[in-house]
Amino acid sequence: MLKQILFILLSILVCSSIGSSSFQVASTFPICSSCVSNCQQLDADAINIIANGGLISTCAGLCGYFAGDEKQVCTAACNNIGLDPFIQIITDEQVADPIYFCQSVRLCPTNSGTTGSATVDVATTPSSGPLGTTFSVTATYTIISPFNIGQIAIKIIDPAVNFFGGDQLITNVVPGTYTYTYQFTAEPSEQEPFSSGLYKVVVSVCTGTCGLSSPGTLTLALEDTSFTINN
């Protein structure tokens, strides 16, 4: 039981990094984006169900614990693969990767049969500033050979090698050039003190979830830049 709960807690940390915004999803996977963006709440509710020993014998019984989009995702996923496999997946470590989880429950496409290729450039505005400055990191990426599902991720590494950032789901885009902007204000917090120094910015375009090693995950393009905070 403890192992199951720890796996689900891990999934919440990863799922919370996935943005709700995305490009179009193929009509055969109409709730793919919803599955990816709602996995945090889905898993949080699953923790309560497991911890409280909820009586579960059908998909309807399990998904009755959820509401709204989480209930829709739960119902579709459970009906797709069956109750026992679904319970196994939501309590297994593979749920820590939201894209792979949604592929496993047949709510998102896989990248089987697609190679995918892309390029990316990144710019940060301004290039330096004091505390309180609002920085914008803009990634301009070109899809050369399309793929079914992936992600663009912006990772910012501070002088103490802590990191933060944002990402966006990419699904079934046609070849072309797109942009993704991550904006933040350098206001100190418990999570990020915004100390003086050089901040490295790394941008990745990937099939699957960037930074993870689930089946079908591959980094297609990688670029970096930096900015400075002067306090």
Does 98 lie in the same domain as 125? no
Which pLDDT score is estimated for 21? 42
Does 188 lie in the same domain as 89? no
Tens digit of pLDDT for each residue in 104-140?
999 999 987 777 899 999 999 999 999 999 999 999 9
CA-closest candidate to residue 18, choices 47, 32, 38, 46: 38
Does 165 lie in the same domain as 135? yes
**Hey, how many other C-beta atoms are within 10 angstroms of the C-beta on 187?**
11
Does 134 lie in the same domain as 221? yes
Does 127 lie in the same domain as 57? no
- Residues of the chain short of pLDDT 50, as ranges, are 1-26
Domain of residue 121: give its range.
117-229
Which pLDDT score is estimated for 12? 38
Phi/psi of residue 167, each to 5°?
-155, 165
User: Which of 104, 127, 156 is the last residue before a domain boundary?
Assistant: 104
Does 177 lie in the same domain as 94? no
How many domains are there within the chain?
2
